[in-house]
Amino acid sequence: MAKTSVSLEMLMQQALTGDKRAYADLLRDTAQFLRPYLSKRLSAASDVDDLLQEILVSIHKARHTYDGKRPYKPWVFAIAHFRLQDYLRTYYADQLRFASEIGELENTLPADVTNSDFSYESISGEVNQLPEKQAAILSLMHEEGYTAKEVAAKIGMKESAVKVAAFRAYKILREKLSK
Amino acid sequence: MDAMEKQIASLVADADSVQLAPSPLTLWLKWMGIAAAYIAVSLLFLGVRSDVLESMHNALFLAEMGLLIAIVITTALSASLLAYPDIYQRSRWTLAPIFMFVIFVGVIALAWQADNPPAPLPVHSYQCSLTIAVLALLPAAWMFYSMRQLASTHRRFAGVVTMLSAFSIGAITLRLSEQTNSIIHVIEWHYLPMVGVAWLGVWLGKQLLKW
């Protein structure tokens, strides 16, 4: 363990003098020991990969703040923790926005469906002008009669995401048709 | 080649030898030197209060000035450490301003008690807060600029201590320049606004120390 730590510090010192090979080795080693740390905290493997790449960029940007006089790992983990917090903050802010959109959808969706004066066929022209994904969702739900859950499974989205996309599509259609 | 290897390759391609950042000690000493010079130059323009030597015989005034200087020293030290991603692995030192501030509040409370009968209030009021703010502008800008060259992972905390340091420099200058012994005035128009505005550092740090 101590050997690894020393070698990481040496690699960084060599990298700071412009040794590209040492730098590549260092980044690979760093990615290797950071991956389990991130995997414990993030569920999706793709998120781990994205964040790991972001952390490597941050290490690259901040490498002039490492002078080799202190252990390397605490320096790296400070950066990793900082980027992880940033990532989680953005993630939860998105979740919160998403939840409020779902809430809004649940309040308005039943009324929209029961009070609709239009059949799907009569507005299919407008539906086709919607963004591709929204149009596909409305088509599956209203032309082919799938539920939101079935649509989600069919096109590989979360059910809540399908509902939000449908809600946005209804909103656009309502605006268009009320003109 | 997977995405990670591509990323590493692109970073390596961009990696030439790097000019290392100054150590926190160097940064802090530089700031202290500049702060001392700045206070001296400001006092040349504003003038030193005529009773300054007499005031120096007042133990509470002396303690107040000493602690203001200690606040500048410790907040600047804290800011210089917080500019590093890992706080230069000396995180305990960043709490030093808190101890100084607690002692400072105690000294001010004693001075308030001792101000009996109260010294006459000066005719001016908010002008003092404005003067401190103007005097703090350059030190704050310089410190934030220096810290932007590094990579803080505690941007809000760094912002607060930087603002507190800069405003303390302004407060020292004004205290040595303005001829008033009214501690109520000093609390109301020097120190409370100074602490209040320092909290702007939470937002400023977040905005200015992005990297």
Give 10-residue mean pLDDT values along chain B (211 residues): 85 89 96 97 95 91 96 97 95 94 96 89 91 96 96 96 97 94 93 93 96 92
| Residue B71 · residue B174 · CB < 8 Å | no
Nearest CA in chain A to B6: A53
- DSSP-derived secondary structure for A122-138: GGHHHHHTS-HHHHHHH
Query: CA of B165, closest CA in chain A: separation in Å?
Result: 22
Residue A1's pLDDT is what? 45
- Which of chain B's residues have a Cβ under 8 Å away from the Cβ of A62? 85, 150-151, 211
Q: List, as one string, the DSSP characters of A19-75.
A: -HHHHHHHHHHHHHHHHHHHHHH-S-HHHHHHHHHHHHHHHHHHGGG--SSS-HHHH
| Contact across the interface for A31 and B8, Cβ inside 8 Å | yes
Out of A31, A63, A65, the one facing B4 most closely (by C-beta) is A31
Task: Show the tokens assigned to A20.
Answer: 């590209």
Please list, in sequence order, all residues whose beta carbon lies within 8 angstroms of the beta carbon of residue B120, skipping any fewer than 6 positions away.
Answer: B182
Q: Hey, what are A16's tokens?
A: 């700071």
Distances (CA, A) of B123 to A109, A117, B48, B127: 65, 74, 19, 10
Longest alpha-carbon distance in chain A: 74
* pLDDT above 90: residue A64: yes
Per-residue pLDDT at A2: 45
Angle, CA of B74, B140 and B30, to the nearest 5°: 55
CA of B145 vs chain A CAs: smallest distance (Å):
15
The larger pLDDT score, comparing residue A94 to residue A36, is at A36
B32 C-beta neighbours (distance < 10 Å), count: 16
Q: What is the ipTM of this complex?
A: 0.86
Q: Please name the residue that has the structure tokens 């590989």.
A: A156
Nearest to B15 among A28, A53, A60 (CB): A60
Task: Give me the pLDDT at residue A114, please.
Answer: 45
CB-nearest to A23 from B4, B12, B87 is: B12
Q: What angle do CA A62, B79, B126 make, to 5 degrees?
A: 135
Number of H helices, E strands in chain A: 8, 0
Domains of chain A: 2-93 (1.10.1740.10), 116-178 (1.10.10.10)
Place of tokens 């992880």: A84
Q: Quick one: pLDDT at residue A102?
A: 65
Q: One-letter amino acid identity for A140?
A: L
Q: In angstroms, rounded to a whole number, what is the distance separating the alpha carbons of residues A114 and A112?
A: 6
For residue range A25-37, what is the model confidence (pLDDT) as tens digits?
Answer: 999 999 999 999 9
**A149/B contact by beta carbon, under 8 A:** no
Reported pTM? 0.77
